[in-house]
DNA sequence: AAGCTACATCGTACAATGTACGAGTCAATG
DNA sequence: CATTGACTCGTACATTGTACGATGTAGCTT
């Protein structure tokens, strides 16, 4: 029956997971090492991408043994989760008088955070509910509450705004990611110009004013809300 | 000539990649085995998810040796690329009289395809330019050309529509993915109800009419286009 | 002091995986 | 027959995440 289980030690930390410091009191002490691990992980990810994050490399950068990491972190996935959440920390709450500017600011900040750490985009599909993302959702929600959207539409409105940076950043990153893809895309466009007539004509793939398109997208949505009111 | 363009490379040219074999006449002989591999890969992905796709498992399902795969495919990544593209095949072009319905139909079909194969979402960030996605972009582009959007805005409009299903599906899948996350999210909401007051109040995370929200999002955008005209 | 407990580090070992290499099979063609 | 080129596959290896358990350390209780 293997009575002596040593899991007592792991439990304490493992359960904390992505959750922020739990108790109501200022319990504090988020295990200094844990934060160091995550910060270093982000550096590594920035430098070498998702594939470059190895527990061994991480340990080496921290000057520790590999297995020491597992005291503070239950597995590699958790490191990724924590790194993702760290990078998506929301901005300090700046109040604009104008709710519209507030929404735009928030979404642009989010997008900028992701583009600063492109690996974060590919992690997003796995875990999209870290505490920092929840905070961003909250901020967005509050800003929009001043917009006077119809009650029945408000949730749909929030999600639409939410999804815009997600989609836009993914699209942006995967286009930038490899110029090979871009070249291949152009090649495909070149031949069979009947098949891809429209996007060839509008030079959609060549127009790389991503920032502008992103901003316009927000405006479309906000205008749409106004009309649906 | 070009009759016997039996893929005599694979070893050397890893560049063929996702490109379709669309020469002009070379029809219906895209290395039967290659297609079988991809189809089987999709089955495996459907059954076991991204982590479950192993070259060994794949080979076993095909009743072949592991290394035989590498004749037809240059590496695992290519298998993933091909599987992704296969699954995102666009619908047969159905013409509606109404361009608006056409857009809605296309976006909903795309979203449905992705939800049918949830693993596709997590692959999207890596490679978003397969031929089938290009086709979808083309179809969308054509449908929208009838909408009378201002020339200066048309590309931004296309991208906004494009990003909507991407973001919405990622959000949707990552929420569904693990109920643990959902539970954790709720726990986080429960305590510190001041921090997440707004989204708690609107029951944003509990309202799971994803289909409706998605549809409304499209409408917001389309209405926004109309206003920007 | 001695012993106990919780915290923390780390070396070794192992299993799973992608794939390089090269030998092998088979059919068509010279 | 010999050659070639399409195709298959077994072996071997390097890289990875991590289970296990020994070790060290600090503080407390008796």
Encode pLDDT of B129-147 as tens digits: 778 988 899 999 999 998 8
Helix (H) or strand (E) holding A46, with range, is helix A32-52
Instruction: For residue range A117-174, list pLDDT tens digits in order.
Output: 999 999 998 876 778 988 999 999 999 998 888 888 999 999 999 999 999 999 998 8
Q: What is the pLDDT of residue B128?
A: 66
Binning chain B into helix, strand and coil, the percentages to the nearest 5 are 65, 0, 35
Mutate to test the interface with B, among A49, A201, A211, A224 (most CBs of B within 10 A): A224
Nucleotides of C under 7 A from a protein CB: 6-12, 16-22
Q: What confidence score (pLDDT) does residue A178 get? A: 56
* pLDDT score recorded for residue B226: 86
Span between the terminal Cα atoms of chain B, in Å = 51
CB-based contacts of B93, cutoff 8 Å, min separation 6: B139
Residue B195's pLDDT band, with cuts at 50, 70 and 90, is confident
CA distances from A97 to A12, A102, A146, A173 (A): 44, 8, 10, 33
Query: What are the structural domains, with CATH classification, of chain A?
Result: 7-87 (1.10.10.60), 99-228 (1.10.357.10)
- Give the pLDDT confidence of A196-224 residue by residue, as tens digits: 888 888 888 888 899 999 999 999 999 99
Task: Write out chain B residues lying below 8 Å of A155, CB-based.
Answer: 202-204, 207, 213
The C1' atom of D29 and the CA atom of A75 lie apart, in whole Å, by 36
- Cβ atoms of B142 and A97 within 8 Å: the answer is no
Residues A160/B224, Cβ–Cβ less than 8 Å: no
Question: Could you write out the DSSP letters of every residue in B153-178?
Answer: GHHHHHHHHHHHHHHHHHHHHHHHH-
Chain B 29-88, CB below 8 Å of chain A: which residues?
none
pLDDT at A191 over 80: no
For residue B46, how many C-alpha atoms fall within 13 Å in the half-sphere facing its CB? Answer: 14
* Nearest C-alpha in A relative to B216: A156
CB within 8 Å: B141 and A175: no
Give which of A143, A16, A13 is closest to A90, Cα–Cα. Answer: A143
Asked whether residue B201 carries a pLDDT value surpassing 60, the answer given is yes
pLDDT in tens, A51-74: 999 999 999 999 999 999 999 999
């Amino acid at each position: 029956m293997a009575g002596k289980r040593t899991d007592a030690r792991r439990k304490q930390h493992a359960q904390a997971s992505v959750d922020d410091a739990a108790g109501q009191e200022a319990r504090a002490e988020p295990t200094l090492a844990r934060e160091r691990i995550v910060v270093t992980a982000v550096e590594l990810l920035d430098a070498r991408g998702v594939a470059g994050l190895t527990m061994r490399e991480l340990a080496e950068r921290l000057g520790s043994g590999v297995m020491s990491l597992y005291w503070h972190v239950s597995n590699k996935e958790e490191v990724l989760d924590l790194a993702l959440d760290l990078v998506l920390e929301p901005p300090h709450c700046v109040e604009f008088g104008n709710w519209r500017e507030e929404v735009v600011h928030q979404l642009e900040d989010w997008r900028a955070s992701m583009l600063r750490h492109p690996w974060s985009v590919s992690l997003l599909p796995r875990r999209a509910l870290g505490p920092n993302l929840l905070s961003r959702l909250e901020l967005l929600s509050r800003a929009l509450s001043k917009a006077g959207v119809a009650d029945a539409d408000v949730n749909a409105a929030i999600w639409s705004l939410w999804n815009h940076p997600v989609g836009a950043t993914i699209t942006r990153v995967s286009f930038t990611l490899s110029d090979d893809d871009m070249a291949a895309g152009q090649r495909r466009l070149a031949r069979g110009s009947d098949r891809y007539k429209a996007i060839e004509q509008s030079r959609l793939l060549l127009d790389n004013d991503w920032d502008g398109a992103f901003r316009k997208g927000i405006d479309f949505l906000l205008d749409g809300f106004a009309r649906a009111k």
